[in-house]
Structure 1
Amino acid sequence: MNEEIESLHKNGTWALTELPEGKRPLRCKWIYKKKDGIPGVEDPRCKARLVVKGFNQKKGIDFNEIFSPVVRHTSIRVLLAFVALFDLELEQLDVKTAFLHGELEEEIYMEQPEGFIVPDKEHLVCRLKKSLYGLKQAPRQWYMRFDSFMIGQGYCRSQFDDCIYFQKFPNESFIYLLLYVDDMLIASRDKSLIRKLKIQLNNEFEMKELGATKKILGMEIHRDRQAGKLFLSQEKYIERVLERFNMNNCKPVSTPLAAHFKLSLDLCPHTEEEMERMSHIPYASAVGSLVYAMVCTRPDLAYAVSMVSRYMHNPGKDHWSAVKWIFRYLKGTSGIGLVFDRNKATTDDVVGYVDSDYGGDIDRRRSLSVHCCIVYD
């Protein structure tokens, strides 16, 4: 808590002042968390963070625009494919207290934080000068600040993804930076370009260097540069999900969704007793966890997850059994993931796959078809 307060004062986050008439101060609270470290880079640690209770903000008074983009998972995978194909350097940075760098446009007041009320100034409130965690506009203000900085350094923003920045040089060298809130991936052939960008970022923000990328957004990255391979998986994430839903000791199965599951609306609860029983089952949370694995590294779950997602509004016992079946599949396949192999890339080679479930939608008597094209360059 002392470290957090020291960081806030160093950043000039607020100034004590009298509360103007007609204004109301937002309340705040402390959040405590144990953070997992990155093996060989960062040890596990305890963290305290001061958070504003932003749910009390009023639109047009305390905030206006709040949308802030983050890099797409597709963009991350494309970058990793380039890293494997061209044998690029890939490093990771983390911004310390990223949201605190955002400049506020609105006039916002906050009560003094618990445990750090200034003696003889208990009647004063904090006039926020910089953004703070919990404010609705905090992510947007941070992104706007970072975006203006990168453009000022001569970087271009991708027209396909607002969180991709790149710069090309006359000697045909280049550098890419991907931003996901406060996590950054930097890729380039030239280490000196990465060092230069790190210096620029450190001069503007307080950064934490994490070295060669090993983990990003719950995805583990393993590289074998000699073999030209990059492996992307979510083994640790899947293990945590299985433990969370008490499926860590289940019996593994070999398919994402067995043929005997004939899911339909007829299997939804129709009595109050059935609805009451299903209300205690974390169906939506479980499916959401599966969706994240599917989006990141497990496209093999796509069909099964799409089936169980149709009944989020009113799941039944059989729908829950199908979700547990997917967990059993993950139990036996937690270590598999995506492989980017430079040696398998052949020039101008396109491979396509297509399939259909032939009227698998019992409710509407429609087929679900899918296609996948892999382009090797």
Structure 2
Amino acid sequence: MQQMDVKSAFLNGYIEEEVYVRQPPSFERAKFPDRVYKLRKALYGLKQAPRSWYARLKSFLLKSRFVMGSVGKTLILLSRGGDTLIIHVDDITFGGSSHALVSSFAKQMSREFEISLMGELQFFLELLKGTFVHQAKYTKDILNKFDMGDSKPMTTPMSTNTTLDADEDGEAVDQMEF
């Protein structure tokens, strides 16, 4: 599986609605301070931006003889001479049964969009490649031991990234103690 990044992906989408924006700060025209601009393409932060990018990418792929997967809107397939290429459009991860087909897809995308090939897939939908240790079973066993197995979890009442400072008397605080 490979991964690519489309540079400024949302800026490649076309919007169908009429959307007007104020003049950006530092780019106001002194003669026309109240002038607004009609957008022709999507901008980051625009509610329609993700949808318009998806529509643009989907349209490009369908014109290139890809077909929508039956599982959902994010898988797109291409079959050619017994080989198959699968694309997950959200993160543009892709792989296939033929190196030539995978390479051809990357070239096709680079002709249409400005892309960066990120190489072998290392990270997908917040899942990392590798082995991870967790203590979920241990935690459940402790809760059950103290008859708290059915208790409802609560969120931490404070940010987990808070840095503790020295106390008002000037003594150093052992941050690991808390």
TM-score in same-fold range (> 0.5) = yes
The aligned residue for residue 40 of structure 1 is none
Checking the alignment, whether the CA contact within 8 Å between 2:5 and 2:118 is kept in structure 1 is yes
Checking the alignment, whether the CA contact within 8 Å between 1:201 and 1:207 is kept in structure 2 is yes
Q: Tell me the TM-score normalised to structure 1 length.
A: 0.37
1:255 pairs with 110, 115, 138, which one?
138
What is the DSSP-based 3-state SS (H/G/I as helix, E as strand, rest coil) of the residue aligned with 2:87? strand
The aligned residue for residue 103 of structure 1 is 14
Counterparts of 1:51-90 in structure 2 under 5 Å? 90=1
> Does 1:206 pair with 2:82?
no
Shift of 1:121: 5.1
Q: Give, in whole Å, the separation in 1 of the partners of 2:46 and 2:56.
A: 16
Shift of 1:253: 8.0
Counterparts of 1:322-337 in structure 2 under 5 Å? none
Q: Give, in whole Å, the separation in 2 of the partners of 1:206 and 1:96.
A: 6
The aligned residue for residue 192 of structure 1 is 100
Q: Give, in whole Å, the separation in 2 of the partners of 1:132 and 1:188.
A: 32
The aligned residue for residue 175 of structure 1 is 85
1:332-363 alpha-carbon deviations (Å, 9 max, x no partner): xxxxxxxxxxxxxxxxxxxxxxxxxxxxxxxx
Unaligned runs of 5+ residues in structure 1 are 1-89, 222-230, 239-251, 269-277, 287-377
The 1:158–1:195 alpha-carbon spacing in structure 2 relative to 1, beyond 3 Å, is: same
- Structure with bigger helix share is 1
Structure 1 residue ranges, 4+ long, deviating more than 6 angstroms after superposition:
none
Q: Give, in whole Å, the separation in 2 of the partners of 1:263 and 1:254.
A: 14
Aligned residue identity for 2:87: L
What is the DSSP-based 3-state SS (H/G/I as helix, E as strand, rest coil) of the residue aligned with 1:141? helix
Shift of 1:115: 3.1
Checking the alignment, whether the CA contact within 8 Å between 1:219 and 1:232 is kept in structure 2 is no
Q: Percent identity?
A: 28
Q: Give, in whole Å, the separation in 2 of the partners of 1:141 and 1:192.
A: 30
What is the DSSP-based 3-state SS (H/G/I as helix, E as strand, rest coil) of the residue aligned with 2:157? coil
> Does 1:113 pair with 2:24?
yes
The aligned residue for residue 163 of structure 1 is 74
Shift of 1:164: 0.6
Shift of 1:263: 3.2
Cα RMSD of the aligned pairs, angstroms, is 3.1
Q: Give, in whole Å, the separation in 2 of the partners of 1:256 and 1:279.
A: 16
> Does 1:281 pair with 2:157?
yes
2:36 pairs with 106, 125, 138, which one?
125
Unaligned runs of 5+ residues in structure 2 are 161-178
